[in-house]
Amino acid sequence: MKILIVNDTYHPHVNGCSVFTQRFVHYLKERGHEINVIGPSLDFSNSKREVDGVTVYGIRTSTFGFKNNWEFRYAIPWFNKKYIRQILDEVKPDLVHAQGHFPISRNVIDVAIEKKIPVMGTNHFMAENLVHYLPGPEIFRTWLHKWLYKDFAKVFNKLKKITTPTATAAKFIQKWISQPVIVISNGIDLKIFNHNLEIKENLREKYKIPKNKPNLYYVGRLDKEKNLDMVIKSAAIAMKKAQFHLTITGNGNEKENLKKLSAELGITDNTTFTGFVPDEELPYLYKFADCFIMAGTVELQSLVTMEAMATGLPVLGVNAMAIPELVHDGENGFLFEFGDIEGLSDKMVRIFNDEKTRKEMSQKSLEIIAKHDINKTMDSFEGLYRKLC
C-alpha cells in the first residue's frame, strides 16, 4: 500500500509521539509498504528530505520566539494547503494516517478528504501536557482544557477510524468522539529491547553508571509533567535505608533544576544525569538497571516503561492515567500515589532491599509485555488499512 503518515512532530524532535511515529514508519517500510511522511520542516520554508530512507515533506515552521531544550518547532497554520495539495498529487497515497490534530495534521486531513482519500488517525494528545505550562488563573486553564479537547474532536470526528494506545486513553477521549475508539498498543520491538542483551561495559564507563550497587533508572524528557523532583526527593530519603544509585537519561527544561535539587539533598554522588542517549545505545543502558521508575502523570501509554519491562525490569509507576495498565501493583512492580514522597520512598526501599522480589517482578514484567509485541501492533494497523482501502 501507499501510506502517507502525517504528524506535527517528527525527526529530529525527541518526544514520545515523535519517537513512536518514526518507529512506526520504519516497521511499515519493513513490511513492504510505500511510505511517505509529512511533518515539520527544520526552518521557515517548505522542504523535502530523506530520513532513514523515507521521504519526509516538511511544512514551514518557526520557534515563534519560544526556546526549549528538545528543539520543538511549531508549524505555521496558514497558507500551507497549496503545498500539501502538491504533495498528495505527487505521492498519490492509498491512505493517510494522521498522528495528531495540530496545524499540519488538520490541514492534511482536510486536503485528503477534499481529494476523497481515506483518512484515519491515532491519538497521542493530552491537553494536560500543555495547560500546566501556561500562566494565569485556574479558571482560565480549566476553560482552555475544555476548548483544547473540543478542538481535537472537531478534527478527529472527520476521520474514518480512530485508534489510541490504551483502554485508559480510549475512555478518556471517547466522550469527545462520535465513533468507537479502537485500542491498539504502541507496541515494542522485543528483538531490540530484551533481557538477553549483552552487557556493554564501555557504555557504563561512558555514562558514568556505577557497577557496585543496584540502579534505579528513568528515561524520558526532563520536563515538569514527568515529576522527577518527586523521584529525587523520595530517593534521597530511601538512600538512607537502602543502597542504590539513581540514573536519569534525557534532556528537558527541568534538567538544571533537577541537578540543583539533587545537590541540595546531598545525593549528587548517588545520581547520574547521562543527558541524551542515542537509539542504538539506549537498549543497553536498561541492562545496567535493576528497577525502572515512571512518575509522569499524563502518560497515554509510556514507550520507555514498555522498553524497561521488555528488558526485564520491575517498575515503580505512578497510579495515574495508563501506567496501571502496564504496572500491576505487587506483581511486576509497585504503584505509588502522586505527591506521596514518603510512600514512594518506602517502595524504593522495599524493592532494593529484597532481591528475591525484584527477580520475581522482573519475570512478571516479561510476561505482561509479551502482549505488546510490535508485530501484533502492526498486524492490527494493517487490518484497519485493508478495511479502509
Does residue 192 form part of some domain? no
pLDDT of 245 strictly over 80 = yes
Asked if pLDDT for residue 70 goes beyond 50, the answer is no
Tell me if 48 is assigned to some domain: yes
Q: Is the pLDDT of residue 172 over 90?
A: no
Residue 16 has pLDDT above 90, yes or no: no
Whether residue 194 is contained in a domain is answered as no
Q: Which residue is associated with the grid cell 557496585? A: 212
Distance CA 67, CA 69 (A): 7
- Based on the domain organization, do 214 and 336 belong to the same domain? yes
**Same domain, yes or no: 87 and 157:** yes
Q: What is the pLDDT of residue 329?
A: 98
Do residues 139 and 258 both lie within one domain? no
| pLDDT for position 68 | 52
For residue 69, pLDDT over 50 is answered with no
Q: How far is CA 373 from the centre of its chain?
A: 16
Examine the domain organization and report whether 128 and 275 are in the same domain. Answer: no
Is residue 193 one of the residues assigned to a domain? Answer: no
Kindly state the cell numbers that stand for 249.
537519561
Same domain, residue pair 212 and 183:
no
Beta carbons within 10 angstroms of residue 304's beta carbon:
24
Cell (9 digits) for 121? 488517525
Mean of pLDDT values over 356-384: 97
Domain that holds residue 352: 201-372
Considering only residues 130 and 116, tell me which one the structure prediction assigns the higher pLDDT: 116
Residue 351: in which H helix or E strand, if any? Answer: helix 341-352
Same domain, 236 and 360: yes
Complete DSSP assignment for 149-215: HHHHHHHHTT-SEEEES-HHHHHHHHTT-SSPPEE----B-TTTS-TTPPP-HHHHHHTT--SSS-E
Q: Judging by DSSP bridges, how do beta strands 47-51 and 74-75 pair with one another?
A: unpaired
pLDDT at 111 over 90: yes
Which residues, listed in sequence order, are joined to residue 329 by a DSSP beta bridge? Answer: 333
Same domain as 348, residue 381: no
Is the per-residue pLDDT at 133 higher than 50? yes
Instruction: For residues 288 and 334, state if they share a domain.
Output: yes
Name the pTM for this structure. 0.90
Residue 55 belongs to a domain: yes
Mean pLDDT of 138-143: 87
Q: Decide if 326 contacts 368 (C-beta within 8 A).
A: yes
Residue 161 placed within a domain: yes
Q: Which of 242, 198, 227, 354 is nearest to 299 (CA)?
A: 227
Q: What is the pLDDT of residue 358?
A: 96
Q: Quote the CA–CA distance of 166 and 177 in Å, as a whole number.
A: 16
In the predicted structure, residue 168 carries a pLDDT above the cut 60: yes
Query: Does residue 24 or residue 67 have the better pLDDT?
Result: 24
* Shared-domain flag, residues 265 and 278: yes
Counting the structural domains of the chain, the total is: 2
Q: What is the pLDDT of residue 131?
A: 74
Shared domain for 244 and 177, answered yes or no, is: no
Q: Are residues 217 and 116 in the same domain?
A: no
Q: Are residues 165 and 234 in the same domain?
A: no
Residue 87 falls inside a structural domain: yes
Average pLDDT over residues 115-123: 98
User: Quick check: 72 pLDDT over 70?
Assistant: no
> Left (φ > 0), alpha (ψ -120 to 50) or beta: where does 24 sit?
alpha
Distance, CA of 190 to CA of 93 (rounded, Å): 30
Mean pLDDT of the 194-211 span: 95
**312-366, pLDDT tens digit by residue?**
999 999 999 999 999 999 999 999 999 999 999 999 999 999 999 999 999 999 9
pLDDT tens digits, 250-309:
999 999 999 999 999 999 999 999 999 999 999 999 999 999 999 999 899 999 999 999
CATH number at residue 54: 3.40.50.2000
Asked whether residue 67 carries a pLDDT value surpassing 60, the answer given is no
- Residue 136: the pLDDT is 77
pLDDT over threshold 70, residue 29: yes
Q: What is the mean pLDDT of residues 103-120?
A: 97
Residue 137: Cβ-neighbour burial (10 angstroms; 0-12, 13-18, 19+)? exposed
Query: Is 258 within the bounds of a domain?
Result: yes
